[in-house]
Amino acid sequence: MPSAFSTSPIQVGIGRDRLVMLTRYAILIFWRSLALCCVVLGIAGAFLPVLPTTPFLLVAAWAGSKGWPQLERWLVEHPRWGTSIRRWCDHRAVPRSAKWAASATMLFSSVVLVLSAVPLALKIGVPLLMSCVAAWLWLRPEG
């Protein structure tokens, strides 16, 4: 005897076209939600020194390109952040000033972490990870 959990959506009355439409709608909602959350975090990062702005806006533009082209266009054409986003999208380039700012922030964070009362694994692991990120960042073009 078949169980109630072994039925497919088509067997319970949802047609294949409707299922495809619902799946596409769910995917669209996912991309738009991700883009909107990243825009909100990016805006918060403009006012909070511990939260980066540009990485969140880069993710927002990427997610927007998947499901919200108007948001992507708005971000790419933004007078303040558009240049950085376009530079990253076109050339994977990071300005030297951003590299210095990110490196200084990671160094400061590492010093604070080493001086704090956290487990030794974190005192070693997190600065090691940040060193890898800094090395990757400095290998990006600047143009």
Residues 40 and 56 in one domain: yes
Residues 44 and 4 in one domain: yes
The angle that helices 69-76 and 82-91 make with each other, rounded to 10 degrees, is 110
Domain boundary among 67, 91, 115: 91
**What's the whole-number mean pLDDT along residues 26-37?**
94
Residues 82 and 103 in one domain: no
Full-model pTM: 0.71
SS3 of residue 141 by DSSP: coil
Confidence of residue 76 (pLDDT cuts 50, 70, 90): very high
For the chain, the domain total comes to: 2
Query: What would the pLDDT profile of 78-132 be if each residue is shown by its tens digit?
Result: 998 898 899 988 899 999 988 998 899 899 999 999 999 999 999 999 999 999 9
Task: Name the residue range of residue 115's domain.
Answer: 94-143
82: CB partners within 8 A, 6+ apart? 75, 76
Residues 3 and 69 in one domain: yes
